[in-house]
A and B are shown apart, each in its own frame.
Chain A
Amino acid sequence: MTNTFPPPGFIPTASAIPGIAVYAPAPEETEALPEIMEFKCPQCQAMTAYCVADGGLRCTYCGYYEPPARTIVGKGAQEFEFTVETLTVASQAHGWGETREDLHCQNCNAHTTLPPGRLTHTCPFCGSNRVLHQQAPQDELRPRFLIPFQLEADACRPIAEKWLGSSWMTPKALKQSTVAGFTGIYLPYWTFDAVTRAEWKAEVGHQQQERYYDSGSKQWRTRTVTVWKWESGRVRKFFDDLLVPGTAHLSRVLLRNLQNFDTRALVAYEPQYLAGLLAQAYDVPLEKAWEEGRETMRDATREACRDQASTSQIRNFSMALDFSDESWRYVLAPVYIAVYRYEDKPYQVMVNGQTGAIAGQRPVDWNKVWLAAGALVAPGALLSLLGMVAIVLGLLLPPALGVAAVLLVPGVILLIIGGIIAFNIIGKARRMDDV
């Protein structure tokens, strides 16, 4: 028993029985943040902002620098269980820890949260200036951790220009385009940990040679048959920090391409990290994001199960999967977003603010694509056509049949190969166009 009563750090709490006093540990004191935080330079009263190069607050006028209270927590960042209460609250609210001004874009319906004092703004998603003020929502689900920007905004431009010129499918004029005005924004992400345990069974096909008597040729021959055997197995997979975007306003394809964030760089949330930057609260609730995360996990587990089979020929596959040790985090991840215009149409570009990975929309020059596809198919088609003509001639002039064979065989082969390559090019162009 402790000598002093109550022990340090304990405070009185409600007791349900008279005559018994109960003391509980005092809740951890969290610094009460003002509803609106202003980041002003103590020297010149100008605005300070988060400086990526220094990793702290810097005044752009007098150069005053204030280092942040950086606490790298990395993968040790606190994770939370899927309690019934959490899921209920998370489905009803959007997390934010600081009263900020939320701008609603009438053009693309995106919600963007702005730092205090910033009333005019260009929507980073569509470039539109038509925005309205709304009150930002508040709730218990605050972002507790974030990955700070490690890439300066200036570095995005050369990355974007290199990327614009990296594909022959884009219009030639695009190579001369410039993407400017990269806006740093913290995007909401959910991270999920879980262990999956699966038991599977399936019929697995094994190729075997067997001899049979061909009554037609009256000879013994060999043929390949598939023998199906039941197999089963168990798989245990651990998923660590699976990232699922907490915003539905950005293209999932682009976000997926950007998603190589390193959660070892997670730091405890401090408002200073957001000074002068944009940040977006989640609009994909926890339960919905977890559903997406579970889909990813179970598909990966299914693939692991199928990989256990002794061959890749599988049928009647079934499995039972249990999730355990599930946990989640709500984090902010750094992204630069810019919009450039080509032929009066806006295109979005995103750069991972931690790793510099880039993803974006690019216009497709379909003339080039069709031309390339035609050029690939043309030799085969031409040879095949000549071959057909030679066959027709061969009916009159039998020696022409030999020429027909020489033309037709490589022609058909080239046509098939060219067709496959052209099909892939068109598919790739479609995917690029659909982002």
Chain B
Amino acid sequence: MSESAGWGTEVHVTFCPQCDWHYVIPVESAPPRCPRCFAANLEHLTSNTEQLPYLRPPELVTPFTVNKATADQHITKFASGIPYAPRDLNPETLRRRVQPLYLPMWLVDGDVAATWEAEVGFDYNVVSHQERYSDGSGWATQQVQETRIRWEPRVGQLERHYDNVVAPALEQHAALENALGAYALDNAQPYTANVLERALVRLPDRAPDAAWADAAPAFQATAGEECRQAASADHIQQFRWSPAYTDRHWTLLLLPLYATYYLDDDNEPRPVLINGQSGRVFGVRRASIQRAQHTALIIVAIAAVLFLLSLVAGVAGLAMPPLLVVAGIGGFVALCIGLGAIIPIFRAWQFNRRPVETL
């Protein structure tokens, strides 16, 4: 089904049959791989999109401030320093698969009527003194000023309209924020259809009613800050209110993200995410045990060949005793090389033992 209301262009709702994430893409775009699990191509949603409870048009977009070149640097850094990295985990592959993506956050507008109470603090300066004395030079006085806060109670009434109070629209929002860092929302810009030309838009999986639990404290924090300003105070604490909300309106804010992936030993895609604003990278860095084993096998083979040659030298040494010495040295070297075969496997195992954060 195509949809255009509020999006500025004809869009399709697509979903990943593997992880069930929903995306919006322009109708002219071919569905790409799911940028979350990279396990399958996205499929068009054939049912009525009006039944999708969370399909609301975006109002604001936080633009990508990390360009491709900078993202490439972060990817290169991510892919380096891994012993026996999977063959697929190289900067070139990761760069080729990069998919720009927008994550959603709810924006709530609403009217609030409330009574409130709080303690407001006013800064004031007091004068104190520090003195130094020495037998030679007597007293030297230094005046110092320190700022203190005078707390006073205030109560009040509030009738305000608040725009664009944010609340998470994804169940994984906290985990994503933990992995990628917080987004600065103050440079958000109005949404235009051009946004869809360069990136997929992830649809919320969290209902407004569920997100309200996070939006209400944000309303309270915003109102508390305004009450501080209204009281011409420098600080506010213990802000409490009894709000009544009306005329709530929900739209979306889009957060920029780059997604790419690599295939591990089991040929399973491992996603790598890059914050489109700060460049912070999140992904699982794993060493390839298969590659380590392969290297170990080569070492063992070399040791075996050397051992065989030593054995031959030993047999010949029965007739020509000096060869016995060559056979002994050769056997010892073969043993050492053979024992060294454990090193690649140990290094890969040790690297993979490091704690891994997952979303």
Contact = CB atoms under 8 A, between A and B. Distances in A.
A5 B126 contact: no
A1 B229 CA distance: 21
Q: Which 10 A-B pairs have the closest CB atoms?
A: A318-B134, A20-B230, A17-B230, A321-B131, A15-B230, A21-B157, A22-B156, A19-B160, A82-B127, A84-B125
Given A10-B155, A16-B229, A82-B126, 6 more contacts: A1-B241, A14-B232, A20-B226, A81-B126, A81-B148, A319-B133
A31 to B, nearest CB: 23
A251 B88 CA distance: 96
B134 A317 contact: yes
Interface of B: 115, 117, 124-135, 139, 141, 145, 148, 152-160, 226-227, 229-232, 240-242
A24 B154 contact: yes
A318 B130 contact: no
Contact of A318 (B128, B133, B153, B155): B133
B159 A24 contact: no
Contacts of B160: 19-20
Given A2-B155, A19-B159, A19-B160, A322 B130 contact: yes
Nearest to B134: A318
Contact of A16 (B125, B129, B158, B232): B232
Size bracket, chain A contacts: 35 or more
Contacts of A14: 232
A199 to B, nearest CB: 10
A307 B201 CA distance: 78
B114 to A, nearest CB: 9
Contact of A84 (B127, B141, B157): B127
A176 to B, nearest CB: 49
A294 B129 contact: yes
Contacts of A83: 124-127
B96 to A, nearest CB: 53
A323 interface: yes
A397 interface: no
A320 B132 contact: yes
Given A1-B242, A22-B231, A318 B125 contact: no
Nearest to B115: A5
A2 B117 contact: yes
Nearest to A24: B154
Given A20-B157, A25-B153, A83-B124, A323 B129 contact: yes
A5 B232 contact: no
Contacts of A17: 226, 229-230
A87 interface: yes
Given A17-B226, A19-B158, A22-B156, A324 B131 contact: no
Nearest to B128: A323
A316 interface: yes
Contact of B130 (A22, A87, A317, A323): A323
B135 A316 contact: yes
A320 B140 CA distance: 10
A87 B127 contact: yes
Contacts of B153: 24-25
Contacts of A87: 127
A23 interface: yes
A23 B154 CA distance: 6
Interface in A1-57: 1-2, 5-7, 10, 13-17, 19-25
Given A15-B231, A16-B229, A84-B126, A6 B155 contact: yes
B132 A318 contact: yes
B157 A318 contact: no
B130 to A, nearest CB: 5
A14 B125 CA distance: 23
